Amino acid sequence: MKIGIAGVGTVGVGVIKILQQHTRLLNDKADANFEIVAVSGRDRTKSRPVSLEGMTWYDNAVDLARDPDVEMVLELIGGSEGVARDLCLTAIEEGKPVVTANKALLAVHGTELARLAEEKGVALNYEAAVAGGIPIVKAMREGLAGNSISRVYGILNGTCNYILTEMEETGGDFNDILQDAQKLGYAEADPSFDIDGVDAAHKLTILASLAFGTPVDFDSVYIEGIREVSALDIAFAKEFGFKIRLLGVARRTEKGIEQRVHPCMVRSDTAIANVSGVFNAVVAEGDFVDSTVYEGRGAGEGPTASAVVADIVDIAAGRTSPTFGIPVDKMTDIPRVPVEEHVGCYYVRLTVYDRPGVIADISAVFRDEKVSIESLLQRGRAPEEAVSVVLTTHEVQEASLTRALDRIGKFEHSVDVPRMIRIAKL
């Protein structure tokens, strides 16, 4: 099996290391000999910790896909458009199987690529695109094939999880912990893709398609990052018996499918609450298997390269499945439910002047919007100074709570924009 690797950065180097160090092991598992015959990257002169000697170098990755010596293409470039998409389309058109780690590409163009792969009779594998070294794609596509999946959710971004757990353990502010994460290499120089929830949303889009047999629909994912989570919220969460985690949640309801990424309050005694640092975790709920939990490292050279090589071995051994578990022509367009229609419990933090009648005014608005308060805390007592009023609600439709908070935010005794975090019922 002659392989071409497009993208020889961190993951590409990791793949080369595994193929070179575990040659005999992999050959035995796949009953095939693996040889890297071509590579493509941005800088031929860059120093790398592996030798590329004997491999044909392509400045244009698409030309690599057309090389008649290349029998399998690895797309490790990244990005939903441009050369990554062109490379995959070209390789599939050439009748060559593709292994990719590109969640953005699959979240946006996955259905298109899957349809073409089926037409050409080649595999499109992407275990490394979701949750790094956790074999969640194989679990969803094959291990849970006998189940109707009702919900899949999890911690899908290690950068956010590291920041939130460090805030929890140290009491530090978001910006300080983010700077520490950047120094340690856990966060990019521009961390927006991670901390604004986009990375997790790409992964959730893929999981939702696998879970429910629907075309990928990234545009319908509600996305909210962690920039607004404060040390104060972390502390209050602890008082209520919660921890805060950025979760991606895809759920089948009577109205359709919810797809949302946002900070959640989760009970401190749940498995997901105790996933810390840069680790990822995914929970899948099926009608026969009940709840299954998968945890491991979600990024980095080793875990991601391990997942890529697992796909290579499967293809070489002839173990293939439809890209998203079922053929594209059997996928069902199920309506997506907007987040405003979500029904759940909520944590709310209000910053108001400590004046007589404030709590009565807040309660009146909640009464008007049919929001029922479960518990309430007020910290500090300083007339005419700002204090925090923190509460949790019983189940309510999000649109009703949003209307209530909009009204409360306009009160003359409101000091800051009301903060709301959804409470996850796990």
The helix or strand, by DSSP H or E, that contains position 261, with its residue range, turns out to be strand 257-267
Catalytic-role residue among 103, 138, 203, 243: 203
List, as one string, the DSSP characters of 50-73. S--TTPEEESSHHHHHH-TT--EE
203 catalytically annotated = yes
Structure tokens at 329: 């022509």
List, as one string, the DSSP characters of 309-348. HHHHHHHHTT----TTSS-GGG---PPBPPGGG-EEEEEE
Among 175, 171, 130, 177, residue whose Cα is nearest residue 154:
130
Q: Which ranges of 146-300 would DSSP assign to H, the alpha helix?
A: 158-170, 174-184, 192-195, 198-212, 231-239
Q: How do beta strands 56-58 and 72-75 pair?
A: unpaired
Radius of gyration of the chain (CA): 24
Is the backbone of residue 403 left (phi > 0), alpha (psi -120 to 50) or beta? alpha
User: How many Cβ atoms sit within 10 Å of the Cβ of residue 317?
Assistant: 12
Q: Mind telling me the catalytic residues?
A: 203
